Structure formats: C-alpha cells, structure tokens
Structure 1
C-alpha cells in the first residue's frame, strides 16, 4: 500500500481492496480479504468498532449446525416472506455462518457458554464483538480510516470499473483510495428514524452504488418499524413477545398480525398505545434482564417497572436496516453487476434468505457475517488478478448530488416516517409522497450544511424514492408491503422488482428460484 500525491492534509492511498463501512459485514470483508493476502483499507463513517446498529446491542445469530434443519428454517422464512426467499441461498448462508462463527471462536472471541458447558455460538455481545473485530483487522494489517465517510465511488470510464472511492475526514480533509476492488458495507438506511445505533445509516452506499450503475431489489419491503417505549431509542423486539397492549382507557388491543408492530400501528395512527410485559414469568423476567440489559435502562431511568406498569409505546422507522431491500447481488460472490464493486450486509438486499419480511435478529446477523466473508474473498481475487497492471488513474469526482438537509428531513418525517403513508400504503399516498421526495431532491441547497450532511440528505431521499417506486409498482399486498387498495396477494407477482437509475428510475422483473421443498407441514411451491 503506497501513498499517492497530495497535500500534507489530504489522504491518498492505494490498496488491493477498499472496504466502506465499519460494522460486522465490513470488518468480516476486511479480515477475509487481508487473510487472503490482499492489502486492505477500511473507511468508516464513524469509529470502526463502536458505530452502527450491531455495536449498540446484543446480536442473536442464525446458527444451525445440522444441515438436516436447513429445510425447516427455509420453510419458515418462505412463508412469512411472501415466497421470495430461495433454498439455495438459505442453505449456503447457514452453512457458511457456522464456519465463520467457529473461526471467530478460534481467533479468541469469548462466546458465552450454555448450561451444559458448550459454547453458545448463537449469541454475540455487540460492543465486545465489534471491539474484537476491530482488533482482528488491525492485527491482519488493515489500514483503518475512522470518522472518514465516503462521498462517492470513483469509476474509471476507460477501465469500465470501480477503481476506489473518495470522502472526507472529520477534520475536513479529503481522502481518496485507489483500489482494485471495492466493497460497500455501509449498512442500511433508517432515515434518521431514531432507532439506537442507526444515526450513521443514511443510505450513502446506496446512492454511490446507484450512481455507478448498480441496481436494487426488495426496496418495497423497506418499511420495517421497531417497537419501543415512547421515551426510548431501543427497538429490541424480544421483550415485546411477552407484552400486552391497551388503549388510553385500558381496553385491550388484540395482536392479529404476524408482526405485532402492525397491530399496534393500526391504533397508534389515531391514539396512544400502552404496553406491559405482564405475560412474562419470573424466570423469563430474570432471563430478559440478564440477556437484554441495555433494553431496560430507559425504563429504569424513568422509574418504570415494565413487567408490572403500563408505559407508552412508539414505532421507530428502521427502514432497510431491519427491512429487506438493498443493492442487488448477482451471485454468492456478492458482485453487484458493476465491475470491481461488491456489496455486503445491510447494504445488500436480503430477499434471497428472508423474502419480503424483516430478517431482524439472527438472519440479519448471519447475513452480515457471511456476505462480508464472501465479498472479501471475491474482492481479493478480483484485485489480485489485476496486480502488474498499469497504476490506476485517480480522476476527480464528478459534481456530487446533494440536497438540503432541512428540506429533506421535513419531507422524510412527513412522507416516510408516516405510518399512514409508508405502512398502510395506497396509490394516492405513494404518488403524493413521490412528488414531495422528487421536489426535495431538486430544491436548492441553502448555505450552512456541511458537504457530508448535504450528501447524506440526498442519499436518504434517493433510498426513499427507490422504496416508493417499488411500492407503487407492486400492486398487491405481500409480507411487509401492504396496500390498502390491493389487500390480497397475487401468486403471479412472486418475482423480484429490480430498480436502477438515479434521477430517473426504471423497474424490471427479476426471477425467484423457487424449489419444491418438504417440511412437516407439507410441500410448498
């Protein structure tokens, strides 16, 4: 890795592989590429090891050691995800997740132990996990650029491929990295909805990927909301399994939907909703407080016993962080269809393993680990095949697409956070929201915001436009995507929606590899 020309303040580097992001997918990509012999640079918007959703809480992982169980896990996701997941992808992710978690143990990560004394590979303590991953990539020789958000990718028109990226540091210096291959692992987009750890999840990688020709799928399933106490940013769903819900007057709210947050939302659009974890036994209460301690800090600070006292609840938009949509992968090497560009983790569409339903919890954690490893391997292979080629040029970046952060936030709160528009969808509401998003994207940028703020504002508007474009085109209700004007699922619509473009968006149909499977409940198509 060698420094390029530049001022003493600006940073210019060369590497085999550039990884953008700092969460599980990014660190696994960096570690895997470095262990394969590649020179790696990782650039994170925050501080690698502490920023992002995974570092903020405990992580359950889809750990299935017995291949005979793969079919059952696939069947569950196939049903709940609207028939859009694929058995081949599911089996491959489950198999590789076991290998990677065992490697993590071999590297020294202190997994907790079960009552029988065996290691519990299905649980990762977020802060410890991400601190450990930072240590591992440093030991592997990865160069880390902390507090160095990416502003865009560098695309060499002559080479016809992505040749790196550029960004800005916390101190205002500019950085560029020329790389043989680049991995986007910048996380999902939560539209600044306020869920813990998602303040850095503003869709920057999505916009950069779209600008160089990458496409997206599953964007109509990006409307996942997280249940939380109204005074809390913690959207851990596990305690709410034991919750009862009621209105202001104490009358009970029945949970009739597969996702409790939908039943709560039906009432919450008009009036306050309250919850209490009164269905938990004493043993469950002790287990929850022990394993999900950060989830109970907000209650303790408010002097509320959530197992015995009612508390007001709210819904925080988690978007594609716990929804599904993202950059479309063309294969299990995590290629994007753009030469030299790979994607992993929440930045990539999880449709192949969860369909149109949230993968919140264990599938998401496994997906980040596995796609990070796959992307790191593929990026390393691609980059090392280019060794000996002439030095890469570093053309100046094109004029950046930006938006006014104040205008963007107003539109996002009104049109994207809105339960009426984004959760209970209709053509009239979606068309009106699209018009507002388009207008905000074209609005002049006022003086004052930083380049990063203006770029992230444009990225969030872009991801919202992708989501609503997909929602308008899918004229049915399926999994997370619910249309009040098309309340039924249409079997003929079991396809992927592939969206491409930046200013103008196009939508095409993509196939789903549906295989006949057998389970205890019978055969599914």
Structure 2
C-alpha cells in the first residue's frame, strides 16, 4: 500500500485500501467455494487464487444471480432513472434492443455499475463504455470526484484494439527511420511516444524478452497475441507500428463520488460500484489496469449491493407504491426545437475531437483545456436544446450526452488542479504543489462546477520525489 501512495499523489485512504483487500480476499474465496471457479493449481495441487479470467468469472456470477431468482434483462440499456417526488431513485427506464420496445423497472434503490468512459476510442473492452451511469446519477443530483484523473491512454498495435500494456516493458521503440526512440521504454516513456506520434509513426519490437519469458507471456495473456497472429506478425522479432488509444476513466480514476462505507452517494437511495465510481479512495490519482480496478469491482459491488438492499428494505411497502417521475434530460427531452434524427453522431464526433487527440487530453495545458471546455460547453448547449431520437437511437443519443457531460467534468476538474499530481499532468504546471493535496469534486449539467475536498492526513506521508505514472506522462 505504501508503495502506491506517492504514485497516486497521496490522495488515497489507507482504511479503504485495507477494506478492499479484505473484501476482495473474502470474495475470491467465496467464488472458489460457492461458485466453484476453476482456479489453476500449483505444483502441490493447491489452487492459485491470484487472478480471474473475465468471461468465466462473469458466467459463474450470472448463474449465481439467476439461481437466486433475479431476472436479467440482456441488451437492455438504461436511458434514464426514475425518482419519487422527494428526488430519491425509485426505478429506471430503458430500451430492450431484442424486443424493440421500452421497459420500466420499479425499485427500492438503484446501484450504478456502468463502467467508466473511453469516448468510443476503439480500445478493446472499453468501446462500449460511455459512462451513461455518471450522467444518470448527475441528473438525480449526484456528485463526481477525481475527474481530472482521466487521461489514460494504452499502447496498441496500429489498426487493432488490444491495449494490454504490461509486455511493452520488454520492448524497444523506433522512429519511422529505424532509429531507436530514446526514453520511450523508460518510466514516463508514453509521453515520448505521444509527442512523436504527433509528427510521425512509432514502431515497436518486444525484443528484450528471453525464450522463457516469451512462453510465459503467451500463457499469461493469450489475447494479447491474437492481433499479431491474425496479422502474421511475430512481435518478438518483427517491428510493428503502434498507436495510443484513449481509455479515459476506464483506466483512469475519476467517477461518481462515494460518501459512505456502503458505496452510497450524495443522493439517498443511489449507490455506485466499479469504474463508474471514483477510485481515489484506494489509488489516489493513478490506477492503471488489472488488479486495483478488479479488486475495487469485487469489493465495491458487494458493498453497493448490500447497501441498496438495506435501503430498499427500509422503505417497506412504500417501495412499490411511490409515484415515479423521469429525470432524463439531454437526448430525451430537448428544451428547444428538436433537431434532425441522427444528430447524435455529430455530437459524438465533436466530443471526440476535444478528448481523443494527444495534444489536448494527454499532454494537457491550461490554454488548451480552457479552449476545449468552451467548445464542449457549446456542444452541450446545442445538444440540450435540440438532441433527440426515437426507437433504438435513443440509446445512442444518451451515450452522446453522457460523453459530452463526462468531458466537461474532466476538463473543469483538470483546470482546477493547477499542478501535476498522479496522472493529472499539466505542461504549464509541471510540479506537484503540496498545498493542493486535496480531491476535486465536480458536478452540474448545464453549469459545471468544481470545488476542493480535503483529504484526511495520514499518520506519515511518503517522503522523496513524487513518482511519475507511466500511463500518463
């Protein structure tokens, strides 16, 4: 835990980290016992419970949910939350793609677990993540936190989508003329790659792995090699062009602000889990992929589910009799004259133009951030007044609205942090300011706001120079 504190800018909370470690340990053991997960075994025959394969994990969780009697609505994205007259979440409305119809769910509480936002960048596993959940939560009055920690980019072979980056620590990077790109493989090397990609192609070869390491890599992450195998490339001996794909708050840190140990939010009856929430409590201003976010998903999901269940039970019969009212705005109920069908495509393209380029979101400068935020505010105003859709396109319109809102919270928070901390780096403020050891809370829809939130002072702050997160600088 101590080794990560300085990396994340000392914005985490040791108590929460201990809770997550304990809950994850218990959850994985429960998965082995109750879920009969097929963990691999070691030489002595004992299970090695130190990792999970996503598809198999989700399959077993799905079976368990069904056996408990829950109804699962597949391919049924939520388009808005429903609240009672007091503003407390009381259900949801959405679109059933396979049936081609709307649906409505009445609930005693709502838990948002919709992932982060990667702005449809094309990254594998991220391209469905437009963080509609953050928009749904904000429309009921929830707050966000850590949204400045949202400039994560992953390395991928050009023209592909796999952004698993661990094995690139064994790589050598090259310029288009074949010369070695100095410092690209060092800590902070991704910034060197980003700068170079603005002007020319960058190539890579994973040539610093010996035979034993190569065999281990294929066993550990077989899907990393699928694009190479399909393209007929041996990444250990042949050079291949690379790119950087935005992963935003999927491998970033920001999200819905958590206010209680049960993953409650600032809205009574609304809970949140996983990448839809801020992960500052356990990682501060830097996460990355894999273990931390996976552990947070297991633990926060457990707590949010229990918290929501307790809240629903506390309502008694009132949970089934409350009057429901819709909360969805942009993309559903324009305030002006509705525009043309399909306008969501223009909104998405306009938002992407402000958040995907390396010289805007990755290598941030106050002037660029301010200009992009001005443009995004204009995009939001136009979308709020005119964006609408019918049928299945309602889902796309809401995704466009969520991306626009997400980008505005990101840049407003990034402008409020006039320093470089965690992965929130500023070219115009390259040093860490000890007076800004606080979190940035944000929110709002038509008018975005931000404010600092104090962080509890630990018994002993880490000493020494601040570490530079590889994924952001």
- Which aligned pairs between 1:413-428 and structure 2 lie closer than 5 A? 413-428=352-367
Give ranges in structure 1 of 5+ residues lacking alignment: 1-73
The answer for the alignment partner of 1:497 in structure 2 is: 440
Match of 1:163 among 85, 90, 94: 90
SS of residue in 1 equivalent to 2:250? helix
Match of 1:333 among 255, 258, 262: 262
C-alpha separation in 2, matches of 1:209 and 1:409: 20
The answer for the alignment partner of 1:302 in structure 2 is: 231
SS of residue in 2 equivalent to 1:489? coil
Aligned-CA RMSD value: 2.0
Match of 1:150 among 78, 81, 104: 78
C-alpha separation in 2, matches of 1:78 and 1:320: 19
Q: What are the Cα deviations for residues 2-60 of structure 1, in whole angstroms up to 9, with x where unaligned?
A: xxxxxxxxxxxxxxxxxxxxxxxxxxxxxxxxxxxxxxxxxxxxxxxxxxxxxxxxxxx
- Which aligned pairs between 1:25-36 and structure 2 lie closer than 5 A? none
SS of residue in 2 equivalent to 1:168? strand
Match of 2:13 among 79, 86, 96: 86
Shift of 1:523: 13
C-alpha separation in 1, matches of 2:287 and 2:371: 26
Shift of 1:399: 5.5
Q: Is the 8 A contact 2:331 2:388 kept in 1?
A: no
The answer for the alignment partner of 2:339 in structure 1 is: none
Q: Does 1:506 align with 2:445?
A: no
Q: Is the 8 A contact 1:164 1:180 kept in 2?
A: yes
The answer for the alignment partner of 1:323 in structure 2 is: 252
The answer for the alignment partner of 2:4 in structure 1 is: 77
SS of residue in 2 equivalent to 1:175? strand
C-alpha separation in 2, matches of 1:376 and 1:345: 12
Runs ≥4 residues deviating over 4 A:
446-449, 521-524
The answer for the alignment partner of 2:179 in structure 1 is: 251
C-alpha separation in 1, matches of 2:387 and 2:248: 25
C-alpha separation in 2, matches of 1:447 and 1:213: 24
Q: Is the 8 A contact 2:85 2:323 kept in 1?
A: no
Q: What are the Cα deviations for residues 456-507 of structure 1, in whole angstroms up to 9, with x where unaligned?
A: 1000110010000001111111121111111111011010000021111121
C-alpha separation in 2, matches of 1:234 and 1:482: 25
SS of residue in 2 equivalent to 1:386? helix
C-alpha separation in 2, matches of 1:87 and 1:446: 45
The answer for the alignment partner of 2:65 in structure 1 is: 137
- Which aligned pairs between 1:98-137 and structure 2 lie closer than 5 A? 98-107=25-34, 108-137=36-65
Q: Is the 8 A contact 2:83 2:325 kept in 1?
A: no
Length, aligned pairs only: 449
Structure-2 change in CA distance of 1:257 and 1:413 (3 Å): farther
Q: Which has the higher mean CA deviation after the structures are superposed, 402-411 or 476-485?
A: 402-411
C-alpha separation in 1, matches of 2:189 and 2:44: 34
Q: Is the 8 A contact 1:111 1:121 kept in 2?
A: yes
Structure-2 change in CA distance of 1:87 and 1:287 (3 Å): same
The answer for the alignment partner of 1:17 in structure 2 is: none
C-alpha separation in 1, matches of 2:189 and 2:262: 35
Q: Which has the higher mean CA deviation after the structures are superposed, 256-265 or 89-98?
A: 256-265
Give ranges in structure 2 of 5+ residues lacking alignment: 333-342, 467-473
Shift of 1:75: 1.2
TM-score, with length taken from structure 2: 0.91
Shift of 1:310: 0.7
SS of residue in 1 equivalent to 2:208? coil
The answer for the alignment partner of 2:322 in structure 1 is: 393
Shift of 1:400: 2.9
Q: Is the 8 A contact 1:495 1:510 kept in 2?
A: yes
